Structures are given as C-alpha cells and as structure tokens.
Amino acid sequence: MKKQENYCTFAAMINLPEKFKTQMQNLLGKTAWNDFAEALQQPAPVSIRYNRYKNATPQDGDDVAWCNAGKYLAQRPVFTLDPLLHAGIYYVQEASSMFLEQVAALWREKTDLRILDLCASPGGKSTHLADLLPADSLLVSNETVNSRRGPLIENLTKWGNPNVVITHNAAEDFSTLTGFFDVMLVDAPCSGEGMFRKDPASIGEWSEEQIRRCVERQRHIVASAWDALADGGLLLYSTCTYNREENEDNVCWILEHLGAEMVTLPLCDEWNITANEYGYRFFPHKTKGEGFFISIMRKRNPTQVIKQEGKLPRFNVLNCSPEWVRGNFIFVYEDNAIQAFPPAFMQDIALLKQHLWVAQAGTPIGELKGEDIAPSAALAFSTALYCDSFPCEEVDLNTALRFLRRDAITLTQQPRDYILIRYQNVPLGFVKNLGVRSNNLYPPNWRIRMHIC
C-alpha cells in the first residue's frame, strides 16, 4: 500500500486530473498504473529519424527497434543550432510514432500506390511515408488548419522527395475523389494524453468533455474522407492518446458503420508493444517513447470508380528544361514559378488540382526572371538536385548558422552567380553573389530567430 501511495505522489507532481487517474487505473489495473505514473515523472526520451535518401552520418545512440532509420539520443541538443536539421537530414520525432515503418511492410512489394496523409502537419508521419513510398507512388499530404500548413510545407520541402503533393482541404473535400487512394492515414486530432510527459501544459486542457468532442471530430474526419479510399485499401488510424473512446471504440465504430476489417502485424516480444484485437498501444512504462495508438483496417465495401467530368487542367510546359535536377521530370510554370513533376503523376496532379486546393506539387525549381531562371530555395533540398550544376561554397558551422538567419554572406572567391551553400557537403540553400556582397535567398519565414552568440 505504501508503494502505491508513493507512486500516486509521483503523479500528483504534474497535477494529473483525478478523472484521468481513474481512467488510467481502470485501463491498466492498479499495478501497471503505478509503473505508468512513475514513468511520467521521468524525462521523455529524445529520438530522431534519418532521411533515407540523403547522406548522413548517424549520431551515437541506441537504435529504435521498430524503425531502421530511428535513433535515441543520450540527451536533447539545441536542434535549432544544427544546420543538418534545417537541411532535412533528420526529423525530430517520437519513437512510438516511428512504428509506421512496420505498417509499411503491408505494401512493400507493391508499386504505383497513392497514399494520403489526411491530418499531416507538422509532417513527422508524412516525411516518414515519403521514405516508405514504393516505386512510382505518390504521397498526398494534407492539412486543414491554415496556421499549420506552413510548417508542413517547410518540413516536406526540406525532406526533398519529389513524389509529394501538399494540399489544404477539409476531410469532406476528398469525398469526390472516389476510390483514388490505396492507403489513407488519419493521425486524428485527439485529447493528447500521450503527450502529458512531453508537454505538461496540455494537462490543463484535458477534460472528459474534450474527449467527447474529439471522438465526434475523429469520426467525422474518417467518415468524410472514406469514399476516397479504394475498395481493399488500407486505413491507418492513429492517436497520441490513451482512452478507449478515441481508440478502440472509434475503431469498432469504423468497422461497424463504414465497412472494414482488421489487419494484424507481427510483433517482436522485446518491443513491449501492447496489442489487442483493435490495434497497438505504446505505454511509456513499457516502451521507450510517448503514448501512441495505431490500428490498421482494410476497406471491404464496394467503391465506385471515379468518373471524370469535363477537361482536366492544362499545364504550361517549358520547351527547354533547367539542367539542375537528375531524373526524368516535366517542367511546368504558372505565374512565373517553375515546378518539376515526375511524368507518371501528371494526370494525378491535374486531377488533384481539379478537386482540391493544392499548395505545392512536385519540386519547386525556380522563378522566371526575363530570360533568366532564379533557383528556388526548395531546389536545394530536393533529392533530385544536381549539385554540380551550381558553383558551391562549403561553409563552417558559424557561417551556416549566419546563412540560416538570413544574414549577408560575402563570397569573394566565387563568381557572380547563384551559389549553392553547403555545410558538411549538405546543401542549405542559395545566395546570389554580387561580388562585394550577396543576396541571401533563404526564405524569410524559415529563418532561425534564436539569438546566436
């Protein structure tokens, strides 16, 4: 009894709501609740996931068992002051969420898939899906909330995969794309109980009424976009919360009301992931990560094949292509902006533009300025970039940080041209060298705002 009282005191240190304690005790049982409450008082693990398509030397640390590109760090560095983070070499992500890699085994042998991340910002799971795309496949990453769209665009742009379209739409807007997607991820907005350790301020926002509102919203999101999922397609439903209402109860609702069946995955016992008939749970007292739930379902009700009405939008195609990228691309321009599209997705992108508000598609290449083309900041981060087509300047850490703050960089040994700035041989962006000075072309809204001594 004394041991249990001590653990209850642990939980009180972060002022957990009494009703939340009762909820978790009912979910876990008293013994496991004690371990769970103590785990919440420990520092949250720090984990990152490397970009599979960019050269990087992994940092020292333990591997994330369920993700080949995941690493735990011994301590949390000041990530803002690491140029490699800004270059899209790695993404700071909770290890539990990296379990998405195990789900991707379900489509590993397939090609030509269309995958939708419906609630995508800030982009952790979208950047992971971009790494897990099969050959000739397309990722559509969507964010409904206007204020959250900017971080999603920045993170996906820096990740550099050209097979990505970013949209800004409500879930119901996808209903007209009947049967278009083979995989749909709904990382649903939730009550965030799994983030209490990482973000104690969120505890004050928790209530049973908030859970009820989240359940209604989550069901609305899934049901609104359901028609866009092909018959036999996979629905990946996830939250970062613990309660049954937002997790198992919602899965049961989807199975019963929308027409789906469960899909199971093999697990390694040493991962200590808690599996039940409706999905997979991550608890901080068992797995090294934050709270997370994911369920995999297969759509089993017939879906009518999409029918086109009218003509698809036409693209303005450049007659001559910039020799700045490697691979097979079609270069199109709109309002003087040039983008590179993989040819296999031209019809898909045209269709998406017809039905959705598309914020970015493919790789932004540059801007037409008379007879000249100014390279886009996004081009520097693309995995298709051909670095040798630009003069390059290798910079040290201090200069790299000054560049990322949008400070002026003087390059006396470089020609008057667009210069690619690199740190540890990794592209960071462009400057227009004018001789005595240069124009920093790093986007103002991406710049580092932290004071650097």
18's enclosing H/E stretch is helix 18-28
What's the count of helices (H) and strands (E) in the chain, helices before strands?
11, 21
Task: Give the CA distances from residue 350 to residues 77, 137, 180, 266, 378, in Å, rounded to whole numbers and listed in that order.
Answer: 43, 16, 13, 38, 21
* CA 198/CA 178 separation, integer angstroms: 39
148's enclosing H/E stretch is helix 146-159
Cis bond leading into 122, ω under 30°? yes
Query: Alpha helix (H) ranges present in 162-303?
Result: 208-225, 248-254
Known active-site residue 240 = yes
386-421 in b/e burial notation, b at 16+ Cβ within 10 A?
A: eeeebeebebeeebbbbbbebeebebeebeeebbbb
Tell me the two tokens of residue 315: 């693209």
Tell me the two tokens of residue 442: 């790093």
HSE, side-chain direction, 13 A CA sphere, residue 136: 6
* CA 205/CA 216 separation, integer angstroms: 17
Tell me the two tokens of residue 269: 């016992």
Among the listed residues 240, 268, 320, 392, the single catalytic one is 240
**What DSSP string runs through 30-98?**
HHHHHHHHHHTTSPPPEEEEE-TTS---PPSSPBPTT-TTEEEESS---GGG-HHHHTTSEEE--GGGG
Strands (E) located in 156-309: 164-167, 181-187, 229-239, 260-262, 274-276, 279-282, 292-299
127's enclosing H/E stretch is helix 124-131
Which residue do the tokens 């691309």 mark? Answer: 329
Tell me the two tokens of residue 100: 């998405």
Which residues are part of the catalytic machinery?
A: 240
